[in-house]
Amino acid sequence: MANLLIRLTSTPYGTSDAADGLDFAIGATNYGHHVTLLFEGNGLWQLIHQSPPDKGVKNHSKRLKSLTFFDIDACYYSEQDRLSLGITQDKLSPVVSKAEQGDITSLINNSDHVVTF
Amino acid sequence: MEKTPRYWGVFVSMSAYSILVTSSPYDQAGSASAVRFCQHLLEEGHTLSQVFFYQQGIYNAFSTMAPPNDERNRFEEWKALHDACGTPLRVCITAGEKRGLVLSTDANQPELAHPFEQTGLGEFFTALHDSHRLVQF
């Protein structure tokens, strides 16, 4: 079993990175790996409440809420990036916990592999 | 926002590597870097366990790509790598089909050609259990 750190750095619907990143994360836990998610940069916009997307587009907010059913419970956001983007903490999804820069360094050091979407 | 590197690899003697390619062959530099990295891995004596093509990376598997004569043919580069060491070149079936890469004998359709294989994330993650390092391009 490997510990994977998956960095999500893209907006929820601007590219396919957010959706593909979640597919990748869920695939990893389905096949016996441990996953930690880290939302950085524009990835923090995935954590804000959004209107439902158009038909035919997967609802990213709903998918984030269901991560625990796939044994993905270790979810963090970069506090530094939250401050840079001017997002207040109360706007963020409750599935994530704060990570300071030192915490992020620890997450990376404690991971076997790091992947970015 | 400063872009952080997408790979976090260190060369360790005689390690088994899995490579994740999410870069398209010509729109981004990642796939060229991936080929060079794999070549150096083999020269250094490491094991290339697998190369998995995901997202736009699946475009590396298009046998119908036709770059100008003075540019490298990425499909042929990956093929040469496979011929040298037998490394599985795995193309995500979902990402491929979404983008029109099919198993087809119709000459007008982009076709998944040998040595690329159409597989899923499952095969990739199963093989990852036996890899020391995962590097993404």
Residue B85 appears among annotated catalytic residues? no
Residue range B5-22: average pLDDT? 74
Close Cβ partners of B44 (under 8 Å, ≥ 6 residues apart)? B11
* Alpha helices (H) in chain A, listed in sequence order: 17-30, 60-65, 79-85, 101-109
Nearest CA-CA partner of A58 in A11, A15, A8, A19: A19
Inter-chain touch B125–A31, beta carbons under 8 Å: yes
Least trusted range by pLDDT, from A66-70, B2-6, B29-33 = B2-6
Domains of chain B, each with CATH number or no CATH: 12-136 (3.40.1260.10)
Predicted confidence at residue B100, as pLDDT, reads 84
Predicted confidence at residue B5, as pLDDT, reads 42
Inter-chain touch A23–B128, beta carbons under 8 Å: no
Confidence of residue B30 (pLDDT cuts 50, 70, 90): very high
Nearest CA-CA partner of B135 in B36, B18, B12: B18
Catalytic residue (choose from B89, B92, B95, B135): B92
The beta-carbon neighbor of B20 closest among A17, A31, A115 is A115
CB-CB neighbors (< 8 A) of B1 in chain A: 41-42, 81, 84
Predicted confidence at residue A51, as pLDDT, reads 84
**CB proximity B122 to A under 8 Å:** yes
Token pair, residue A83, equals 């401050």
Inter-chain touch B95–A17, beta carbons under 8 Å: no
CB-CB neighbors (< 8 A) of B126 in chain A: 31
Rounded to an integer, what distance in angstroms lies between the CA atom of residue A27 and that of residue B20?
A: 14
Confidence of residue A56 (pLDDT cuts 50, 70, 90): confident
The beta-carbon neighbor of A116 closest among B6, B126, B129 is B6
Residue range B84-93: average pLDDT? 94
Predicted confidence at residue A82, as pLDDT, reads 97
Over residues B32-60, the pLDDT tens digits come to 999 999 999 999 999 999 999 999 999 99
Question: From B4, which residue of chain A is nearest by alpha-carbon distance?
Answer: A116
Predicted confidence at residue B2, as pLDDT, reads 41
Tell me which of B2, B3, B6 to substitute to probe the interface with A (most A C-beta atoms closer than 10 Å).
B6
CB count, 10 Å around CB of A82? 21
Which ipTM did the prediction report? 0.92
Question: Ranked by mean pLDDT, which of B92-96, B99-103, B130-134 comes out on top?
Answer: B130-134
Confidence of residue B4 (pLDDT cuts 50, 70, 90): very low
Predicted confidence at residue B106, as pLDDT, reads 53
Distance from CA of A93 to the nearest CA of B (A): 22
Least trusted range by pLDDT, from A4-8, A54-58, B5-9 = B5-9
Over residues A57-113, the pLDDT tens digits come to 899 999 999 999 999 999 999 999 999 999 999 999 999 999 999 999 999 999 999
Over residues B97-110, the pLDDT tens digits come to 888 887 655 555 55
Over residues A2-48, the pLDDT tens digits come to 999 999 999 999 999 999 999 999 999 999 999 999 999 999 999 99
Domains of chain A, each with CATH number or no CATH: 3-116 (3.40.1260.10)
Predicted confidence at residue B97, as pLDDT, reads 87
Inter-chain touch A31–B126, beta carbons under 8 Å: yes
